[in-house]
Structure 1
Amino acid sequence: MTVHPLQQLRRGKSIFRRLVGKPAREFYLYLPTTLQENATIIVAVHGISMNAAEHMVKLRQLAEDKGAVIIAPYFSKRRYPRYQQLEDPKTGKRADLALIEIVESVCTQFGLKRQKFTLIGYSGGAQFAHRFAFYHADRVMACISCAAGWYTYPNFQETYPLGLSPNTGPAGMSVHPDWRNVRHHVIVGSIDTAIEPSLNMKPEIVAQQGTGRLERAQRWVEAMNNVVITEVGLPVEYSEIAGMGHDFTDAYDNFRVDRIISQSTVFKK
């Protein structure tokens, strides 16, 4: 493999990059010290606090342990106000396509093999992650959703984003036919039950999913397993962390969510 000069310079370091052109596609990147052409690619998606850099920093050890490249896209509130749903219904801006272009660019620039990647999302980022996995299953090996505010259900009678009714997804998309083959792991705190101003409390969501993030995670895992265990035998892994609430820094610093992620079955071949 021919080594790109930037690979040699930037291994073991964090980089902020911006793709040329519009719409804006910005991201943080971490290349492991030992970088192989077939390196695992992990995409870490922030919540509404927009802390993409912190996501990249917290996952650097995971990158080193697994020889993985970390890509942490930055979806600004101004440019991608509804990134959690992949497409902004008002402007038509597609956060999902922005991510695809970012990953393609990184693979091209650093000589990486194009392969399915693993998505890790926290809060609003978890909303983005599991929805991306539904509609772009051909690009996703696994999806780890940490403390999502609410979910899209594997219900083909409900329109998106509540369900997966055909032709109601981003830009009129239908769910990818391979969506059942994506490995999922849901992580949530046992006391992540608060009803905060940012939590979607629309009546139809409460009726379908419950109130706090803990209940919503439990219900979604049950709904998914009712489908995927029967059809493909890939149960959704579920981790409920005792005493953990809803704080990204606390989750990683004190509850070591990164270790739970590192040991997840989604990384097993």
Structure 2
Amino acid sequence: MQSDAALAIQPDADRARAIYDLGHSTVFAARTDPRFSYCMYVPPHIDAAKHPMELVVIMHGTGRAFVEYRDAFAEFARWNDCIVLCPLFPVSPLGDGNRDGFKQLREGDIRYDQVLLDMVAEVGEKFGRDFKQFALFGYSGGGQFVNRFALLHPESLWAVSIGAPGSVTLLDPDQDWWVGVRDVEARYGKRIDVDALRKVAVHMIVGKADLETWEITHREGGKFFMPGANSAGKNRPERLESLRRSFEAAGVDVTLDMVDNVPHDGLKCVGQVQDFLAAALARLRNA
């Protein structure tokens, strides 16, 4: 039997859980690397949900608007019995001012893909779920992360939505990483599993008016410049179309949304992303 002291503490623990863990959560440091953190939206009815909770991960872009994206997906999570996890990979974790390291998955000794997988495991343990697979969406810089994560870890995903990446990694065995995937096993110790990628529901989205190139044109001497860096297209719609073609050439089905009258604004694309994820989630649960 529980002691009187334990019984007295329990209501306080439940109240704290309701305030800080459920609904719009507070921000947590990642247990495996406290340089990185995350927030969540957890439907308050989690213990009485109609379906077992699934996980949707939203990856921020260069502006780090992780809370804004969490809030934008809160109602989706509530009505679809999902937990939303929004990581924060801050600027300059190595003290060098780098804004872009997370987009490449690796920065110095940091493996951002592994940090995310550790966060997923942490959230699963917190709420008694084993999220062997989850959905993943990212826009702009987050779209670059999501593009590359999906190539390396398709077995971990039931759906992926790649939003307006400024640079794309094509499923191209004739070009080296990051432009293609020829040397990915030497770099990451893992081969591209195209069969697993074919099983993932894949979505790509960009605004038709997302035409500025100042931030995405690679120039010689730049930190990510390499042969072929600009060959996928001059702007984001062209580059995403090149990515779609490379996936479909490998037998991966892709749903592509080109959104009318939308410039580079991820929050204006959230509705189409949620429609895609809701349909993918329905298929997952029916299966």
Decide which of 59, 62, 76 is 1:45's aligned counterpart. 59
Are 1:119 and 2:136 an aligned pair? yes
Q: Secondary structure at the match of 2:45?
A: coil
Q: Give the equivalent residue in structure 1 for 2:241.
A: 218
Q: Give the equivalent residue in structure 2 for 1:75.
A: 89
Q: Give the equivalent residue in structure 1 for 2:116.
A: 99
The CA deviation at 1:11 is 2.7
**Counterpart AA for 1:223:** S
The superposition leaves residues 96-155 of structure 1 with CA deviations (integer Å, 9 ceiling, x where unpaired) of: 111011110011111123331000101010111121111111211111011111211111
Instruction: Indicate the larger mover: 67-76 or 175-184.
Output: 175-184
Decide which of 71, 87, 90 is 1:57's aligned counterpart. 71
What CA distance in whole angstroms lies between the structure 1 residues aligned with 2:183 and 2:241?
25
Q: Give the equivalent residue in structure 2 for 1:258.
A: 270
Is 2:32–2:115's contact at 8 Å kept on the other side of the alignment? Answer: no
What CA distance in whole angstroms lies between the structure 1 residues aligned with 2:189 and 2:42?
36
* Counterparts in 2 of 1:105 and 1:204: CA distance versus 1, 3 Å: same
What CA distance in whole angstroms lies between the structure 1 residues aligned with 2:80 and 2:112?
27
The CA deviation at 1:262 is 2.1
Larger radius of gyration: 2
After TM superposition, the structure 1 = structure 2 runs for residues 157-236 of structure 1, keeping only pairs within 5 Å, are 157-168=174-185, 170-176=187-193, 178-200=196-218, 202=225, 204-207=228-231, 209-229=232-252, 235-236=253-254
**Counterpart AA for 1:206:** N
* Counterparts in 2 of 1:167 and 1:215: CA distance versus 1, 3 Å: closer
The CA deviation at 1:196 is 2.1
**Counterpart AA for 2:150:** A
Give unmatched runs, 5+ long, in structure 2.
1-12, 95-99, 220-224
The CA deviation at 1:8 is 4.6
Q: Secondary structure at the match of 1:179?
A: helix
Output the TM-score relative to the length of structure 1.
Answer: 0.85
What CA distance in whole angstroms lies between the structure 2 residues aligned with 1:115 and 1:20?
19
RMSD: 2.2
Number of corresponding residues: 252
What CA distance in whole angstroms lies between the structure 1 residues aligned with 2:171 and 2:188?
19
The superposition leaves residues 67-95 of structure 1 with CA deviations (integer Å, 9 ceiling, x where unpaired) of: 1101000011112741111111xx12111
Output the TM-score relative to the length of structure 2.
Answer: 0.80
The superposition leaves residues 45-72 of structure 1 with CA deviations (integer Å, 9 ceiling, x where unpaired) of: 0111111111111111111121110100
Identity %: 22
